[in-house]
Chains A and B, each alone.
Chain A
Amino acid sequence: MEKTYEEINEKIRKGKAVVLTAEQVSEMARTMSPKEILNKVDVVTTATFGAMCSSGAILNFGHATPPIRMERIELNGVPVSGGLAAVDTFVGATDCNPQRPDYGGAHIIQELIDGKSVVLEAWAKGTDCYPRTHIKTNVSLETMNEAILSNPRNAYQNYNVAVNSSDRIRYTYMGTLLPNFKNASYSSAGELSPLLNDPECRTIGLGTRIFLAGAQGYVTYNGTQFNTSKPVNKFGVPMGGSRTIAVAGEMREMNSRFLRGAYFEKYGVTMYVGIGVPIPVLDEDMAARVSIRNEQIETYIEDYGDDFKLIGTTNYAALRSGEIEFAGHKIHTAPLSSLARAREIADILKGWIERGEFQLTAPVRPMPANRSIKSLEENL
């Protein structure tokens, strides 16, 4: 038996679709075959709530009288892009003012979503059609035209585990890494993580409707650094960071419970983003994919204290136990992304689908099939 998107959507419209979270289906798979799961389950909800630096917002402020062609723009003192026409900007999550490194674009985006106003200041040379050279005013989501969260790289498929073999503390985007293997941090939601439940992106493509920070958003493209060339383990899971998605959604419909500005000590500003992706159980292959369990999801251990060397492998069941053993060390493990909040997202998305408020979309275009990533060569 196979199912089409249309058949699943018809069940959703009638309120008859069977929807489970990825954790529920993984538990079920201990005693049920993929065939039985295909017969029983229509949609599996997956989710993650983690730090995603490659995020940002497209804002349009509207024109003032007299108008200004904004060339240098600051929001609450944080310089943001002046390179988009006259009154558009892109606020990058990691944008910040070096004078105040713990506050940046991500905090501004969160404040806007919370309904707060921020101070816009812009400068221009003045032209015949845009005579004004300076403006300073308060703006909020209410005063703007568009406010679109637009993230170039989110929801990394798998990610390395970080440890530190050196004798000094390392402050990184993987958190505070204590010397001599005293701790290890990991950032994936494991068996609940979106791209680990559809590892080849059979159902996640351009146009896929998703939960994005509380709103219904969309996958807009393959994310940057999309990589299909990582080794795959015997359960079909790519090892280490592989595929990614670019996403967009309406900021006015978002909720800061699922989007937070954050600062990692001596690293910089980043943004926690909550994403939920529904996976249709189209056939036995998809049923097997969504059944993946933490002990089957393996990843590399990377030494941030020694040139990011890959020094071993572990799996998410071990990481979640609170301690991994490596080369004679018992290493205390800690997550960076919130499993509790990811579960909350998977449950909300499940509710939307069960109540017929959210239908599935077949990809308008699939994700790329053969991609590796390049490094930056210095050639001058």
Chain B
Amino acid sequence: MEKRIVLNFPPESTQKPVIYDIVKKFDVVTNILKANVKGDQGGRMIVELVADAKRIKEAVKYIESCGIEVSTLGSKITWNGDLCTDCGTCTSSCLSGALTIQAPDWKLKFNPDKCVACKLCLKACPLHLFSMDVFG
């Protein structure tokens, strides 16, 4: 499986080679999708982990044990679903497949795990129903 997570580095933890460690220790393939980590200030990184569910779980546990807060990417995106008209306009820019609309019900579905934080939906939704705080 693949899982996309956000690592929130506090300033003091950035010295640790966590990404190297999880590749080595847990045999998890990692894909850094976006990173903004400054040595002395901490920061955030979006990583895709590819492995079986068990190894991903252990890797996430390890990252947390290094003092790095882990969250799923979706928690950084707000979609104001109550006002959504299910027009589907946002799905046209979402090539990662996080936003989909299809038969039979043609209602917008949002899957935060697939989001790569490209931000295109922020401008694409004509009702401005997305906001994002990834590197805010």
Residues of A in contact with B (beta carbons under 8 Å apart): 49-51, 102, 171, 175-178, 182-185, 260, 262-265, 270, 272, 320, 322, 332-341, 343
Contact = CB atoms under 8 A, between A and B. Distances in A.
A263 B10 CA distance: 38
Interface residues of B, number: 21
A177 B105 CA distance: 25
Contact of A49 (B85, B124, B128): B85
State the majority secondary structure of interface residues on B: loop
Contacts of B124: 175-176, 265
Given A176-B120, A263-B128, A336 B86 contact: no
Contact of B92 (A49, A176, A272, A340): A176
Nearest to A269: B126
A320 B91 CA distance: 13
Query: Which of B85, B91, B102, B106 neighbours the largest number of chain A CB atoms within 10 Å of its CB?
Result: B85
Contacts of B105: 340
Contacts of B42: none
Contact of A340 (B107, B126, B127): B107
B87 interface: yes
Interface of B: 85-89, 91-93, 95, 101-103, 105-107, 120, 123-124, 126-128
A272 B102 contact: no
Contact of A334 (B101, B107, B126, B127): B101
A335 B88 contact: yes
A184 B93 CA distance: 10
Contacts of B86: 338-341
Contact of B123 (A49, A177, A265, A322): A265
Given A260-B85, A338-B88, A51 B126 contact: yes
B120 A272 contact: no
Given A176-B120, A260-B127, A334 B85 contact: no
Contacts of A176: 92-93, 120, 123-124
Given A175-B89, A185-B89, A320-B103, A332 B95 contact: yes
Which 10 pairs from chain A and chain B are nearest by CB? A334-B92, A262-B126, A340-B86, A335-B88, A265-B123, A339-B106, A338-B87, A334-B91, A340-B106, A176-B124
